Structure 1
Amino acid sequence: MSGAQIILDPLVPLLVLGAAGVLALVMVGLALWRGLPGWWLRGLGAVALLAALANPSLQTEERDPLPDVALVVVDDTASNRIGPRAEQTEAALTHLSDRIGALDNTDLRIARVPDGARNEGTRLKTVLAEALSDIPRDRLSGVFAISDGQVHDPGTDVQMDAPFHLLKTGEADDWDRRLIVRNAPAYAILGEPVTLTLRVEDQGAVPASAGDTADLSYSINGEDTRRARVPVGEDMEIRLTLDQGGMNVLQFELDPAEGELTDRNNAAVVQINGLRDRLSVLLVSGEPNAGQRTWRNLLRSDPSVDLVHFTILRPPEKQDGVPVNELSLIAFPTRELFIDKIDEFDLIIFDRYKRRGILPNAYFDNIRRYVDQGGALLVVGGPELAGADSIWRSPLGQVFPAHPTSRVIERGFWPQISDLGQRHPVTAGLERHAPGAEGEGPGWGRWYRQIELERDTGQVVMEGADGAPLLVLDRVGAGRLALLASDQAWLWDRGHEGGGPQLEMLRRLAHWMMGEPDLEEETLTATAEGQRMTVTRRTLDDEVAPVTVTDPEGAETVLELAQEEPGLYRATWEAPEIGLYRLSDGVLDAVVALGPSAPREFEETIATREVLQPLVQATRGGVARIEDGLPDLRQVREGRAAAGRGWMGLTPREAYVTTDLRVAALLPGWAWLLLAAGFALGAWLREGRW
């Protein structure tokens, strides 16, 4: 293949050459105006002179033709794998490969659109732009996209000079039902109703049998599943009440409808942080003591705690002759606190309290009922706990996890975390909070008094002198009870022998008693970062069962958990896709959402041409539904319509690469001058002699 063209290499600047041309034109025009018969010979002579100055040359090229490039963009995202779409995509790709391969001088390139790594959806235009950047614009003859048309980067600008065609997957009778969370709060107050707005929508060719209602099931933290019949196409409000602090996982799921494309968008997960409005704590000190300030400072430092504190300064047996009307004290409102309003308290603390005729046995029995029905009681024992007037000898003693032996140990000892306490969240890792945690020994100071206990039930998480129980925790009915067999925690607060982690210990103890989820003994939780899932199992047992993870498609994966510290087991797993995952170890269940429960790929599942239609129209391309048959391919000239009934077009580009270049002058300079002289002589003879 070769080509030739004339090029100019002027001997004088173009401005001079242009001026000479204008002058020659004026002179020829003047000769014509005067009627000189040789005016045309004058013009030819001027042209010969100008040509000599322009120095024309003949450029000859040797060219090798380059093949045209046809680009096929294949949508491999999740929405294009629903139903028969994957088979349709492969059939269309095979068809295009065969047809393009049969064309002369045309190469095929394939670009694939993967699933978005961060729930980005179908980035077809982004992939197309990247593929076009590697193809010379003068070789691109056409682009074919095999997709359902659900593209999530419509704002991406794509420029091309070749026709763009869409081969649309899907079927004409496709329809789908999806669940949408319109509004959900990020947090809610425990015990108060919270309202969520949901909507059920049908898309596509909805059959009459689908109905105008749907069955919805929903649960909180995988428990107490409820069902409701909800309308389709209307916003609906659901009112729920959270009773568990911390992160609550609300799961909503529609029953699959017959014939719908997928049920991946039938579920939704909402995470709401449950907050306590105010925690009401009643602290009753039997008499002024050094430890009550420690408890008071701890509870008053928490802005979410409403503290009611009473100290018995004047017991009934005290007779000093001072008239009652001259005392600046208030009477202990026993009936109001322990009968009328006892259920309003989240936690009751008896600090070195003993029976002294203020609270009758009926009141203690009411406190026992309060604990059994879900309340929390903490007993901090001093010498009073071991005496004859100990509250253990009241009806309240029926729920004590240990009983005093009447022996008071008064010598120095270091509180120790028991083997069980190393796994219990109240005391696990407490050494790390001690002032001397990096040194030898327990890292904290000694206590000097302990009430000897014998355990009946419950869990001993701290031990004192001679290995006797120091801190015993127990669950009583629906409530919780803790027994601390020493009143010496204030020594740590005062920094005795370096002090100790009293604030951390007492804070954990108080929050465990009030049911904080982070301090539960047996928990199964999962957190997600991108598609990486971290499964955490806390237990008091020496080993844990493997956790079975069920992915959104129903496939199961078994994870073995490794122990990180006593009572704490973890496993990290890279999930294959985003969505809602269910976890179970046979005892505990949990759910976790990686990204949204319904990924962006499944928000809109009905195949469409609307998103890519502007690009198709701008390039004079076409759209064909694969279900109706695969189109034939034709070659059409640039600028003409590139699609019709049953066919799609490619534009031949006729690109080439130059392999050899030769340049030769049309005539030597003397030849141009000889021609100019000949024409001038002819004009003189024509006008002067003939």
Structure 2
Amino acid sequence: MIADAAALRFDPFLPWWVVIALAGLALLVAGFALWRGLRGWAWRGLAGLAAALALAGPALEIGSRAGLSDIVVLVDDRSASQNLPERAGQTDAAIDALSRQIADLPDTELRRVTVGDDPDGTLLATAIARAVAAEPDARLAGVIAVTDGQIHDPAMLPAALPAPFHVLLTGRPQDWDRRLVIEEAPAFGLIDQQVQIRLRIEDQGAVPPAMQGRSVNLRITVDGEDEQVFAVPVGQPLTLPLTLAHAGQNVVQIALDAPDPGDGEDELTDRNNSAAISINGVRDRLRVLLVSGEPHAGERTWRNLLKSDAAVDLIHFTILRPPDKSDGVPVNELSLIAFPTRELFLQRIDDFDLIIFDRYRVRGILPPDYFQNIVRYVRDGGAILVAAGPEMASVESLNLSPLGPVLPARPTGRIIDDPFTPQLTQDGRRHPVTAGLPDAPDDEGEGGWGRWLRMAEVDPDPAAQVAMTGAEGKPLLILKREGEGRVALLTSDQVWLWGRGFEGGGPQLEMLRRIAHWSMKEPELEEEALLADVSGGMDVRFTRRTMQDSAGPLVITRPDGETEELALTQAGPGRFAADWTAPEPGLYRLQDGDLRRVLALGPAAPREFEQTVASGEALSPLVEATGGAVVRLSDGVPDLRTVSAGRSAHGRGVARDWIAITPREAATVTGLERRPLLPGWAWLVLIAGLILTGWLSEGRAGRRNTGSGAPPNPAPGPQAGG
């Protein structure tokens, strides 16, 4: 389509101020002539203005225009919720039909925009805003979106468009869905204290009558174990109390039983019938009881270690005057605190997370019943750490008390006074208590730490793990699980030499901290553990820590029930690792042998399935502002028409609904030509003509004035004589 358009332009020969001054002078002269009553003033004024106009250089600018095609933006929603029943087929049919109809329209181009999955949900409004901004307003004839209407960025929706906006809604009028809504869930919780999760069960859409007013089974598991089932009402807020049993990540899975298919129309999806919540369990305070059998150089080492940790509440007793000591000083004159044995070891023993016996001698301070209660405390989940000295080989050894059966080694009665360098065993290089200790000796025993000077010889329990050895390769650090509890034994009291820097020292505080925290069951120090480090998005690094020589393959169960095996490669002594990318957010179950774990990736429930019933409510403001329509594809794909701007862009035809776009008839300038309004000689003729007309007008006026005056004198001639 070609069209011409003309416009008047000026290209002055002199500066504009000169042209304006000349025009002003012409008007001034004409005004003066008018005031004096002179004829021809108008012609003289027009001549001056014509001269000024000629100097302004008027010209006609003629442009050639070519018509531009109209643009229709077709938005194709391919988010996860569009895979619900029948929606994918409806979308394909609508896209194909509209593409054909737009292609049949003259001078019309199609811009197709596909919206896929995003971690933040369906960003349809953002896609529309970007697509519209990329096209000229003068060419935009319409925007059509094929979607279920569930968008997660309504704030990005344009306030208005220069053309109609139509929504072709997928789904069916009878669609309904039931979902689990987590209203509030804590990120952290104290161990052995109650936390609360607020939730509700919500029905959406056309709920079948058979499903209304019925209770729902709610299934709750923590870390994939001990499932509990409760019947709860629909549509009412619920508070779920929960007690965290261990430190670290506690994965709480909450799920609904799917409705019985025989009760009516099936719900849209069960993907929003469950949620996985990760709650990090933390200890309020670690309560430690430290009992030193006598003052010695290493006593302050333990005290400094435990007092330096702000999360530890320490109670420390040192036995300065045992009952068998007889120095003749009356008891009422001693400034010593009596050891509250009954209160600590009978009444309040379960209040402690760890009991440390530091060079403790059995001297009758604790009766056998108290030791039996300590054994019960260990087997029920408590922790004991024994740091032994020469008393281990004497008749005052704890091994000879009722506590002996739970200790991880038996003394032989021999004290080794030869200096030695602590060495890591093969188990010690794998065990998290000693693995990776700074400056550890190599596999040949070369280099490493400073020496110790004394230790007791013991025979370890076959069920115990020897992590470190000392003189003559004898066990130095022995770790053992006893029932639900743990016991650690250090067969030397020389660890304080490392703290003093003797012969270079060693990692004293780090090793003692690890022993204490392993005894208190800290998750990062478990021998058998499966760790998952989520670095960002769906990328996960699995680390399998074990005392065995091999591990894996790791069996991963996806949210949809499908399983896959992932091979683990050795990343160090007792450590096997693998990198993996999850295909989608959700709850994943991990298993390696008897070790199981639950991993929650992404939000508590996928955002795409928070709202699943198709609705045009979020897009209605833009539809109404542009005169468009919301049409359900369940009634068929609408016809596409063209209408003039300002007319209705939708309606009902004979067979089906129709929607319309508005042709814009936009054009672009393809050529430009400039022609002077008059040639130079024509301007001269015009100006001269005006001036001549003014002069002639004044001349005629002068002749008229002469004919109307007194008669002239008679001419002289001869006179008659008398």
TM-score clears 0.5: yes
| 2:79 counterpart of 1:77 | yes
CA displacement 1:619-652 (0-9 Å, x = unmatched): 2222211111111111112233322221111222
* 1:538 and 2:545 are equivalent in the alignment: yes
Q: CA deviation at 1:522?
A: 1.0
Supply the AA of the counterpart residue of 1:659. Answer: T
Which letter does structure 2 place at the counterpart of 1:518?
A: E
1:96: Cα distance to partner?
A: 0.8
For residues 140-179 of structure 1, the aligned pairs below 5 Å read 140-156=140-156, 158=158, 160-179=161-180
Inter-partner Cα distance in structure 1 for 2:398 and 2:249 = 38
In 1, the alpha carbon distance for the partners of 2:447 and 2:11 equals 99
Tell me if 1:562 matches 2:569: yes
Aligned equivalents of 2:352, 2:56: Cα separation in 1: 106
Structure-2 separation of matches of 1:382 and 1:294 = 14
CA contact 1:452–1:485 (8 Å) conserved in 2: yes
Q: Distance in 2 between matches of 1:292 and 1:260?
A: 67
Is 2:401 the partner of 1:380? no
Query: 474, 484, 489: which is aligned to 1:483?
Result: 489
Change (3 A) 1:22 1:616: farther
Which of 450, 453, 460 is 1:448 aligned to?
A: 453
Could you tell me whether the CA contact under 8 Å between 1:48 and 1:673 is conserved in 2? no
Aligned to 1:499: 505
Aligned counterpart, 1:229: 231
Does structure 2 retain, via aligned residues, the 8 Å contact 1:414–1:442?
no
State the identity as a percent: 54
| Further displaced range: 588-597 or 472-481 | 588-597
Q: Distance in 2 between matches of 1:157 and 1:671?
A: 60
**Deviation, structure 1 residue 509:** 0.6
Q: Name the aligned partner's letter for residue 396 of structure 1.
A: L
The aligned amino acid for 1:102 is D
Partner secondary structure for residue 74 of structure 1: strand
Unpaired stretches in structure 2, ≥5 consecutive residues:
704-722
Cα deviation for residue 367 of structure 1 reads 1.8
Cα pair distance change 1:679/1:360, threshold 3 Å: closer
SS of 1:584's equivalent? strand
Pick from 468, 472, 479: which aligns with 1:466? Answer: 472
Partner of 1:193: 194
1:289 partner amino acid: H
What secondary structure is seen at the aligned counterpart in 2 of 1:431? coil
State yes or no: 1:334 paired with 2:341: yes
Matched, 1:647 2:649: no
Q: 1:579 aligns with which of 583, 586, 601?
A: 586
Change (3 A) 1:39 1:288: closer
What is the deviation of 1:41? 11
Partner SS for 2:272:
coil
Quote the residue 2:101 is aligned against.
Answer: 99
Alpha-carbon distance between aligned partners in 2 of 1:651 and 1:303, rounded to the nearest angstrom = 72
Deviations 1:548-603 (A, max 9, x none): 22333333332222222211222222222223322222422222222203232222
Please report how far the alpha carbon of residue 388 of structure 1 lies from its aligned counterpart in structure 2 after TM superposition. 2.6
Aligned-partner Cα distance in 2 for 1:115–1:544: 36
Letter in 2 for 1:444: W
Shift of 1:427: 0.8
Contact 1:526 1:591 in 2 (8 A): no
Give the whole-Å Cα distance in 2 for the aligned partners of 1:308 and 1:153: 56
In structure 1, C-alpha distance between the alignment counterparts of 2:497 and 2:9, rounded to whole Å: 104
Mapped contact 2:195–2:242 kept (Cα < 8 A): yes
AA aligned to 2:639 is D
- 2:351 equivalent in structure 1: 344
1:128 paired residue number: 128
Show the counterpart of 2:217: 215
Deviates more, 1:91-100 or 1:220-229: 220-229
Q: CA deviation at 1:677?
A: 7.4
AA aligned opposite 1:226: Q
Aligned to 1:139: 139
Do the aligned partners of residues 23 and 589 (structure 1) sit closer, same or farther apart at CA in structure 2, a change above 3 Å counting? farther
Q: Does 1:309 align with 2:295?
A: no
Q: How many residues align?
A: 680
1:552 aligns with: 559
Q: Distance in 2 between matches of 1:300 and 1:48?
A: 104
Separation of aligned partners in 1, 2:126 and 2:136 = 18
The C-alpha deviation readout for 1:319-346, integer Å capped at 9, x for no partner, is 2222222222233333333223222222
SS of equivalent residue, structure 1 residue 444: coil
SS in structure 2 opposite 1:577? coil
The question of whether the paired residues in 1 share the 8 Å contact of 2:30 and 2:42 is answered with no
1:284 match: 291
Q: State whether structure 2 residue 278 is matched by structure 1 residue 274.
A: no
**Alpha-carbon spacing, 1:660–1:301, altered in 2? closer, same or farther (3 Å):** closer
For residue 314 of structure 2, give the secondary structure of its aligned residue in structure 1.
strand
Alignment counterpart, residue 268 of structure 2, candidates 261, 265, 272: 261
Q: Is the 8 A contact 1:412 1:448 kept in 2?
A: yes
Q: Secondary structure at the match of 2:372?
A: helix
Q: Quote the RMSD (CA, aligned, Å).
A: 3.3
Distance 1:23 1:558, change over 3 A: farther
Structure 1 unaligned blocks of 5 or more: none
Shift of 1:77: 1.4
Deviations 1:164-223 (A, max 9, x none): 211111211122222222222232222122222112111122222223432211122222
2:538 and 2:91 mapped to 1: Cα distance?
Answer: 27
Distance change (3 Å), C-alpha of 1:4 and 1:346: closer
SS in 2 for 1:289: coil
Q: 1:231 to 1:525 in 2, by over 3 A?
A: farther
- Give the C-alpha shift of residue 411 in structure 1: 0.3
1:499-542 Cα deviation digits (max 9, x unpaired): 11111111111111111111111111223222211222111111
User: Is 2:140–2:664's contact at 8 Å kept on the other side of the alignment?
Assistant: yes
Greater mean deviation of Cα atoms: 376-385 or 90-99 = 376-385
Give the structure-2-normalised TM-score: 0.86
Q: Deviations over 1:92-118 (max 9, x none)?
A: 1101111011111111121111222xx
1:155 deviation in Å?
1.9
Q: 1:287 to 1:7 in 2, by over 3 A?
A: same
Structure 1 residues 619 and 469: alpha-carbon distance in aligned structure 2, compared to 1, 3 A threshold: same
Please state if 1:519 is matched with 2:525: yes
User: Structure 1 length as normaliser, TM-score?
Assistant: 0.90
Superposition map of 1:593-604 within 5 A: 593-604=600-611
Say if 2:204 and 2:613, in contact at 8 Å, map to a contact too: yes
Q: Within 2, Cα distance between the matches of 1:136 and 1:591?
A: 52
Deviates more, 1:304-313 or 1:444-453: 304-313
Q: Is the 8 A contact 1:69 1:107 kept in 2?
A: yes
Q: Give the 3-state SS of the residue equivalent to 1:420 in structure 2.
A: helix
Deviation at 1:283, TM superposition (A): 1.9
3-state SS in 1 of match to 2:429: coil
1:659 and 2:686 are equivalent in the alignment = no
Q: Quote the offset at 1:50 in angstroms.
A: 9.1
Measured at CA, do residues 47 and 227 of structure 1 come closer, stay the same or move farther in structure 2, by a change above 3 Å? Answer: same
Is the Cα contact below 8 Å between 1:17 and 1:54 reproduced in 2? Answer: no
Letter in 2 for 1:74: D
Q: Report the residue type matching 1:415 in the other structure.
A: P
- Give yes or no for contact 1:416–1:442 (8 Å, CA) kept in 2: no
Asked if residue 293 in structure 1 is aligned to residue 294 in structure 2, the reply is no
- In structure 2, distance between residues paired with 1:108 and 1:21: 58
Residue pair 1:6, 1:56 contacting (<8 A) in 2 also: no
Please give the alpha-carbon distance, in whole angstroms, between the structure 2 residues aligned to 1:650 and 1:444: 82
1:481 Cα shift? 1.0
Give the direction of change, closer, same or farther, for the CA distance of 1:563–1:55 in structure 2 (3 Å limit).
Answer: same
**Counterpart residue type for residue 372 of structure 1:** R
1:398 to 385, 399, 405: 405
C-alpha distance in structure 2 between counterparts of 1:610 and 1:42, whole Å? 73
Q: Distance between the aligned counterparts of 2:472 and 2:459, measured in 1?
A: 12
- Matching residue of 2:631: 624
Query: How far apart are the structure 2 equivalents of 1:18 and 1:177?
Result: 84
